[in-house]
Amino acid sequence: MQAQKFKNEKGDLNFLKGTTEMNVIFKYDNLRLMKENYTEEEYIKSHKSNLNEKEKGLGEIWIHQWNNAKSQVWEPKFLLLLNKYSNKKITYQLNDSSAKYTMIIDVVWLYPGWDAFMMKQPAKVTTKIQIVDTNDLQNVLYEVESIEAPGNQFGSNFNNETRLGEGFAKTAKSLSKKINKFL
């Protein structure tokens, strides 16, 4: 089992005492993939082409999965685990402009891992997490980097997007435990 690593922490979380709700925003503007640090566009083009070489039309099916993974797998998994492990003191939700604070999850690097029956490598998710004043998104009150959160699970998982979802879940679980120490 790999441990979650947080680095480059700036600020503390004492300001969250008494907070009951927090807005969450996901950003993918700085996203890079694989050890080659492909842009998302480069990765999609390459992976789609590789899949279509294996079987015609497979790349188009995958693109649909990839495009839906953000809103239907990664973000929901993150929010589910963040809320589950938050000791119910703070409720985290997307697009809650009434919340005093906003958590920005800037997804900066993804590695989908692989699963070949008896051998596997977990996905890895790296994010930069900021908590800011909702009325002034430039006012960063807390910042930390989550480095290579492992997206591993028991049994086989041949879907890149769900393996990555486990990395988002691991990030959320570790982050909520960190936040709970200050509440």
129-164 pLDDT per residue, tens: 999 999 999 999 999 999 999 987 655 556 788 889
> Three-state SS for 139?
strand
Which one-letter DSSP state was computed for residue 3? P
**Total number of domains in the chain:** 1
CATH of the domain at 45: 3.30.160
Task: Give the model's pLDDT for residue 121.
Answer: 82
For the chain, how far is it from start to end, CA to CA, in angstroms? 28
> Over its length of 183 residues, how does the chain's per-residue pLDDT go in tens digits?
455 789 999 999 999 999 999 999 999 999 999 999 999 999 999 999 999 999 999 999 999 999 999 999 999 999 999 999 998 889 999 999 999 999 999 999 999 988 776 777 889 999 999 999 999 999 999 999 999 999 876 555 567 888 899 999 999 999 999 999 888
Q: With the CA atoms of 75, 115, 46 and 124 taken in that order, what torsion angle do they form, in degrees rounded to the nearest 10?
A: 40
Range of the domain at 112: 5-180
Task: Give the model's pLDDT for residue 149.
Answer: 93
Task: Give the model's pLDDT for residue 120.
Answer: 77
Per-residue model confidence as pLDDT tens digits over 25-41: 999 999 999 999 999 99
Contacts of 145 (CB under 8 A, 6+ apart): 6, 7, 8, 126, 127, 128, 129
The token pair at 110 is 């993804």
